[in-house]
Chain A
Amino acid sequence: MQRSRIFGPIGVIWFAVSLAVIVYATRLGLLLAPTEATMGNMARILYYHVPHSMLALVFPYVNFGASLCYLYWRKRDPLKALTADAVAISSAEVSVVYGSICLITGMLWGRVAWGIWWTWDARLTSMLLLWLLYVSYLMLRKLSSTGQTHTLAAVLSVFAAVDVPIVFMSIRWWRTQHPAPVFGGGPDSGLDPSMKPAFGWNVLAWALWGIFLLALRYALERRRQEREQEAALEAIEASLEMAQ
């Protein structure tokens, strides 16, 4: 049977374009953007770190939306529901990847800028908890038995979505009661205009790349689902032949 192609022409073009933009944006960020006044060259990691953090906050919305679609279509239109589920798992995995990169680069920056790898500051803690939620989502998908994975995962995604605003609120309260000793405000209370192009290109680059990863993972998941359906059909046919 003809398999759907994983890499269509659009995929190839998208891949090439996102690679080109990544190269251009990295060159802008690392070499051409002006050196930051207080932190020097170390601040250049922010061109990498901040876009990843922003995108790590966007992909969970995709996951939540897809999970809601799955729950809606589950009984009404199972084929569409499978599509939604493939989007859900792809976006969850991309969220975890982007979240991990955000946390790791943030720690590298923190080591130099604040002298410590980690502090239980509001933003760091909320990002870590978001990351934990999505890792637990992936664990559930890994451990649950095949027939019900989609539904259970979609339900957990709804729980995570309800949890996230409560997490953000509670962490903010927690940290305003015990102010962190190390630093007060956020890193960018206003970006210098000369840094804006480098920053904008980096956001674009990593967004393109994230969408590419998401689409690739989606195609893989669809292919896995097709195989599963074929195997199920073959099993039914075989049982019918036996009966004759």
Chain B
Amino acid sequence: MNYFGHVLAHLRKDLRLEWRSRDAINGMLFFSLLVVVVFSLAFDPTAAMSRQIAGGILWVALLFAATTALNQAWTRELRNRVLEAHRMAPSPPSALFLGKAVANLLFVAIVEAVLAPLFVVFYNLHAVGQGWLLAVVMPLGTWALVCNGTFFAALGLRTRNRELLLPLILFPISIPALLGMMQATTGILTGEFSPGPWIRLLIGYNVAFTTVCLLLFETILNAE
């Protein structure tokens, strides 16, 4: 099997696991729905104001929801010592990481697909800027969260208090990416400024951190 085949095998396994339990997606969906409702109660926004704040709220909801699911992503592998088996397997460790990260990307993307119409309804949204650019910003932003999130969830896997540790290290590292996706989304929704530089920032962030994650994953997996 070549590298791509390994990634695909890991991806298929994660998708099948999720298909059978649907823990991660259901949890994330309900969680982000609750965040959206709570925020809209807290701010009670008008249409103009909601365009200003919706970008921020959307990403905060997705960030929190993704964190809850990412914590579960690797604990699955601890049961029956599956992780030890992964470590002994002759496939490259970064393929395991890539498969898991792509699976998480798909899960969060499904949540976004369900959440987006709800968002439009609850916040009376319509984009003043170029709405189609959201199709670029959403995957880029999601990958920025999920790639580092999957990595740090693996990093914190054998620590005490891992549920707490993930946000503690993921949030500070993600702040530039969060700033990028929130600004780009706000720029698109309000049409007041161009999202271009922020999309470039997200691309740069993703390239840099995906490389670092792939290079260092083996170190993390075998850190004893």
A139 interface neighbour in B169, B173, B216, B219, Cβ under 8 Å: B169
> Do the beta carbons of B216 and A143 come within 8 Å of each other?
no
A160 interface hit (Cβ, 8 Å): yes
The answer, among B165, B172, B175, for a CB contact under 8 Å with A143, is B165
Scoring B168, B169, B172, B197 by chain A CB atoms within 10 A of each residue's CB, the highest score goes to B172
**A163-B173 contact, Cβ under 8 Å, with A143-B161, A170-B179, A174-B183:** yes
* Contact indicator B220/A174 (Cβ below 8 Å): no
Residues 160-173 of chain B, each 1 if its beta carbon lies under 8 Å from chain A, else 0: 11001100110111
Q: How far is the CA of A144 from the CA of B155 in the complex (A)?
A: 9
- Name the one of A132, A136, A155 contacting B220, with C-beta atoms under 8 angstroms: A155
In this complex, the interface size class of chain A, counting residues with CB under 8 Å from chain B, is: 20 to 34
Chain B contributes a number of interface residues (CB within 8 A of A) equal to: 33
Q: How far is the CA of A140 from the CA of B155 in the complex (A)?
A: 10
Q: Are A139 and B197 in contact (CB under 8 A)?
A: no
**CB-defined contacts of B201 to chain A, threshold 8 Å:** 166, 169-170, 173
CB pair B155 A156 closer than 8 Å: yes
Report the minimum CB–CB distance from B154 to chain A (whole Å): 10
Beyond the given A136-B168, A144-B156, could you list 13 further A-B residue pairs with CB under 8 A, ordered by the A residue number?
Answer: A133-B173, A140-B155, A144-B165, A152-B156, A152-B159, A155-B219, A156-B155, A158-B216, A159-B209, A159-B212, A169-B201, A170-B176, A173-B197
List the interface of chain B (C-beta within 8 A of A): 148, 155-156, 158-161, 164-165, 168-169, 171-173, 175-176, 179-180, 183, 193, 197-198, 201, 204-205, 208-209, 212, 216, 219-220, 223-224
Interface residues of A (CB under 8 A from B): 71, 129, 132-133, 135-136, 139-140, 143-145, 147-148, 151-152, 155-156, 158-160, 162-163, 166-167, 169-171, 173-174, 177
